[in-house]
Amino acid sequence: MSIHIQLERFEGPLGLLLFLIKKEEMDIFDINIHQITKQYLAYVKAMKQLDLELAGEFVSMAATLIHIKSRMLLPQYDENGEEVEVEDPRKELVQKLLEYQKFQEVSAKLNERPLLGRETFKRGFKEDIEAAEEGEIIVEENPLFSLIKAYRMSLKRMQKNVHRVATAMQSIASRILEIKDKIIVGQQVRFSEIVEKEKEEQQKLVTFLTLLELGKLGFVSLFQNETFGEIYIEGRKPIEGDVVERVEDYETSPEETAAAIMQKAEGLTIPASVFDTDEEDEPGEDMASDDEILAEEQRLEIASVPEESQPVREPEVGQE
């Protein structure tokens, strides 16, 4: 009478090995290779209906078990002929078995969950829902105004909230280090040339404060041919030494900085158009008189140039 052994429960050789280890109640970290190999080969020989791909995996594992068994039986010697201890040849097999066992446990837990079509079933048809009765539609006499009002309200809701980040104001000392190479002794440079690459009005304001501070210390002279016109800067002496320690830093808010400008200029009023280098302002109807322009220029010179400085010279600038 022949014995038929079904191996359908095993998806591969590792599954068969785990089954044999549990059956013989062995410690997975201390496998009896001799006993396991014998039982494993018996199962392989008993297979009648073979799947070629599956059979190849089982035969390969049988060869691995025999190889491990031979390594455990034969001692290992070094070059001098002395027996040495080598790594347990079962270590790699044990790691594969542990990993396979972990996946089996996870698969079992997933299989315990309710499965659609096995433990749970969905409704095969949708329940008819009766349509609600429509009430009377009331139309206003002048619906156009209500429509316009609703449209305006929707536009307000659609407006994006823009978050503006307040940047820290640059110090006078650091700005001096940035522009000192543009100011050459005996040569004139326009204020618009110094701030041409600056897009923020706050940065232009810091540059203007820096030039006022350098003028107070006697490093530069400031000129202006006409009221609200271009400002020219002429270097009087090299900007070096302890000038950075001598300047007054304006680590304040824009409002306090604006007040500091007014105090520096001693009442001199300079509009924001001076800082705008993109467009030139057109003269308005209310023009200042010649006496007012002369007085304004004198106040600018007094505020910008120290007492020990030389008399102010008119800049020699050609037509732009």
Contact 266, 302 (CB under 8 A): yes
- Across the chain, mean pLDDT equals 70
Contact 67, 90 (CB under 8 A): no
Domains detected in the chain: 13-75+87-108 (no CATH), 172-304 (1.10.10.580)
Q: What is the pLDDT of residue 39?
A: 80
Q: pLDDT for 234-264, tens place per residue?
A: 988 888 777 766 665 444 554 565 556 556 5
Confidence of residue 127 (pLDDT cuts 50, 70, 90): low
The backbone torsions φ and ψ at residue 303, rounded to the nearest 5 degrees and listed phi first, read -75, -25
Q: Which residues contact 243 (CB under 8 A, 6 or more apart)?
A: 176, 214, 217, 219
Q: Is the pLDDT of residue 232 over 70?
A: yes
Q: What is the pLDDT of residue 279?
A: 44
Q: Is the pLDDT of residue 299 over 70?
A: no
The amino acid that residue 18 corresponds to is L
Q: Which residues contact 256 (CB under 8 A, 6 or more apart)?
A: 250
Q: Is the pLDDT of residue 35 over 50?
A: yes
Q: Give the count of beta carbons closer than 10 Å to the beta carbon of residue 153.
A: 10
Q: What is the pLDDT of residue 11?
A: 65
Instruction: Output Rg (C-alpha) for the chain, integer angstroms.
Output: 47
Q: What is the pLDDT of residue 49?
A: 53
For residues 27 and 35, give the distance between their C-alpha atoms in angstroms, rounded to a whole number: 13
Q: Which of 3-7, 18-22, 294-298, 302-306 has the lowest mean pLDDT?
A: 3-7
Contact 2, 43 (CB under 8 A): no
